[in-house]
Amino acid sequence: MSKTKGVVIGVNGNMATIEVSGPVIMNEVGYIVLPETKTRLKSEVIRIRGSRCQMQVFESTRDVAYGNEVEFTGELLVAELGPGLLGQIYDGLQNPLPELAEEAGYFLQRGIYLAPLNIEKKWDFKASLKVGDTVTAGDYIGSVPENSFDHKIMVPFQMQGSYTIKSIKESGSFTIRETIAEITDERGESYPLTLSFYWPVKRAVTNYTEKVKPVEPMITKIRIIDTFLPVSKGGTFCTPGPFGAGKTVLQQQMSRNSDVDVVIIAACGERAGEVVETLKEFPELTDPKTGRSLMERTIIICNTSSMPVAAREASVYTAVTLAEYYRQMGLDVLMLADSTSRWAQAMREMSGRLEEIPGEEAFPAYLESTIAGFYERAGAVKLKNGSIGTITIGGAVSPAGGNFEEPVTQATLKVVGNFLGLSRERSDARKYPAIHPVDSWSKYEGIINPEAVAFARRILYRGIEIEQMMKVVGEEGTSDDDYLLYLKGEFFDAVYLQQNGFDPADASVTPERQQYVFNHVIDILASGMQFPTKEESRNQFNRLRMKFLDWNGTMWQTPEFEQREKEVVSMVKEMADGSYLAGSEFLKRGN
């Protein structure tokens, strides 16, 4: 605890102005003490002016009054890193919410802060180094089993220079507070090591050799993403969309099915009802990778929109710090933030109380740099042992009215590598996932041949153009060739871009099945077809769509799957004029 004290001289919402009696630093943590109840409210220094500083309070400031004492800790806002994080549900300050609810009752009380990790549980430690070995920050000294993972125990990230192992426990069961090793620096000063340590959440972890380009696709088993709008391991993406378009459901699907080792969900201001749904469902879901509970490789940071605004910011940084910790073990981590718009609104509210010069729509002028700094903590890194660890960050954005031109969405689009824009029009039409295939884009490479994807995209784009034209001139004013292109675009959208999240077979589609089915779709899009009337062509494509959807609903590589495939192929041959053209040749034919 720092010797610096202070007194409250002003309160504005969740911001308090403090007169200090000694030195303080930016982002230092302090506690406002309520004299009657001795409740201590956790706060963080966000501005210093002479002998005064402003602090954002992570709790309600009700009853905070002029003259209340403030105790400064001399430490930054930190997260505790160690075994026992997986499966936990935390608030923005890394308080375990189930334990907090047991202690505080139905309504969470202010000023209660619990240890993030179980300090009584013993972990089976096995050393990987010996006395006399030289180590630096981030090096592995041993491991403990955590669920299905081999949890690496590391030299704390803040250790500077090189150290020599003076003593180390070869094996045994220890709590996270017990000393398992002792290291000495060049001056001979000793430092004890335990299974856990602390790290400031607003400081990126940089204990790696180099940052490498993300090239490996992150398989989500969602067709429109893996095929059309791929995400890379170590990449970034955002899912803007109006309220009710399915952002939260899409993120839940990605967290269940994505090919990653650890999932961290930061509900940084999402509505409480949707968070409750996540908390109820995840422990009951089976992880397809391990066959165990999905919660065993998931961490949830729960900070709903009804909680104090300052805690929204803390939840975002706490989540990304936990992601960096597991990345340092060489694991692939997916971090989902829902919704970053609430975080930006909290920044706007605090900026207004600080009386800063506002930017567009009253957001702070540093909005873009803050959002960019958050997404820059994603990436694929090469660790000291040669392995690759990745953090993929996906942020949901909730622009008012679905306006993608608003500042938060635009600031996000400048730094992410993938834009999954959700459409009100598609969600109202029950086309899920409601990702707009035309407006969305990706800078990453997927699992399908790019030329084949480009061909399918051109058919889709042309079909949408013809649909818009038909709203004016009707079917009668549309040529047969154009109408056929429109039907092909509609067919592709219905059987491939849309996905039934409630169907056991269609909810998650493996890359092998996506590639196999996509080849059939390309054959259909590229085939030459002729029909006597527009009504006949529409009826035939409706029949084919229903056959294809039945095929989508069968399990991969089963007799039923093969039978449905034969029915689809047979019907396509009936519809085609017998000439299957390459996609480029089909387009050259004047379509």
Q: Which of 405, 403, 440, 406 is nearest to 421 (CA)?
A: 440
Residue 244 labeled ligand binder: yes
* Cis upstream peptide for 407 (omega within 30°): no
DSSP alpha helix (H) spans, 229-300: 247-257, 272-281
Calpha distance 151→92 (Å, rounded):
23
Residue 152 labeled ligand binder: no
Calpha distance 569→523 (Å, rounded):
10
Residue 323 labeled ligand binder: no
The answer to whether 401 and 242 are in contact (CB under 8 A) is yes
Residue 243 labeled ligand binder: yes
The answer to whether 141 and 154 are in contact (CB under 8 A) is yes
Residue 402 labeled ligand binder: no
Amino acid at 551: W
Instruction: Collect all residues with Cβ–Cβ distance below 8 Å to 337 and sequence separation of at least 6.
Output: 266, 268, 316, 319, 343, 393, 394, 395, 396
Residue 242 labeled ligand binder: yes
Residue 583 labeled ligand binder: no
Written as one string, the DSSP assignment of 469-537 is HHHHHTTTTS-HHHHHHHHHHHHHIIIII---TTSTTTSS--HHHHHHHHHHHHHHHHEEE--SSHHHH
Residue 181 labeled ligand binder: no
The answer to whether 127 and 168 are in contact (CB under 8 A) is yes
Helix (H) or strand (E) holding 171: strand 171-174
Calpha distance 366→47 (Å, rounded):
14
Which residue ranges are tagged as binding site for ATP? 241-248
Residue positions forming the annotated binding site: 241-248
